[in-house]
Amino acid sequence: MKIVVLDGFTENPGDISWAPLEALGEVTVYDRTAYEESDLIAERIGDAEIAVINKTPISKATIDKCPNLKAIAVLATGYNVVDYTYAKEKGIPVQNVPVYGTDNVSQFAVGLMLEACSHIGHHSDSVHAGEWASNADWCYWHYPLVEVSGKTAGVIGLGRIGYNTARVLNALNMKVVAYDKFPNDKGKEVAEYVALDELFARADFIFLHCPLFPEVEGLINKDNIAKMKDGVILINNSRGGLVVEQDLADALNSGKIAAAALDVVSTEPIKADNVLLGAKNCIITPHISWATKEARERIMQTTAENIQSVIDGKPINVVNA
């Protein structure tokens, strides 16, 4: 079995092992493959039976150039970079890793909220720059400090991650309201289900925890921002495409939205001219909610299990069945 990993660096920059995959066949690992070069993508897959990707796109044209391909294994939960419909037509299962970082992503979401409220990083930097040592007072702060206890958090998307985030918010004595297409009894344990417009109207904090489907693309736009409370704080470590970035920047600069804390943007890596880089009170981290060593080890193990299931003729975690 020939296995090719097309963009392995973010999964394994050297601190974990490819051994679980290497036990299954001949493995070639490329740290990166240029996303724009479809001919190079097909050339690197070559006659391999398994293509392992993270964000490298696999198009119809690439699939047609790789007749030996038996499966496409994604080192992530999201799989929109693959033409999975065409892959199904060709009998090629696309497999993902459905659960690996629920705790990590929730932890990071709450961390983003707390950073937006407490500005810990900013004030630590100011102390290291000498400002406290030269200050006339025993304390100082550059931004308003916000207490979260007693506030209302709105969670859009109450799946595994949204549910877990809501549990943590409950522990912080926050009221949680949620919007989800599929309300269920488990969700009711941690949140009050409401209509989307009601969530916008009530929430002091809005968390985005939904996949990027066409019906929610650009969900955070000027029309929906107008429905929000003045001074709301937005947290997004789900998908950048959920936000119309110019509309968010305008709302931040006007003060309608007090702050945004983002781990994702519409194009990644972020472009130097992204409007959010110049917006007021906007925290941006480089899509790292998922990236603890523990989570990446779980991704590696599940990917190995996915490939083994193809070898066994009973593919699991197939998203295009």
* Residues assigned a catalytic role: 239, 268, 287
**Residues near 173 by beta carbon (within 8 Å), at least 6 away in sequence:** 148, 149, 150
Q: Which of 183, 181, 158, 180 is nearest to 170 (CA)?
A: 158
Q: How far apart are CA 78 and CA 55, in angstroms?
A: 9
Q: Mind spelling out the 3-state secondary structure of 236-287?
A: ECCCHHHECHHHHHHHHHHCCEEEEEECCCCCCCCCCCCHHHHCCCEEECCC
Helices (H), the chain: 19-22, 38-45, 60-64, 84-89, 102-118, 120-128, 160-171, 185-188, 196-202, 222-226, 245-254, 293-311
174: alpha, beta or left? (left if phi > 0; alpha if psi -120 to 50)? beta
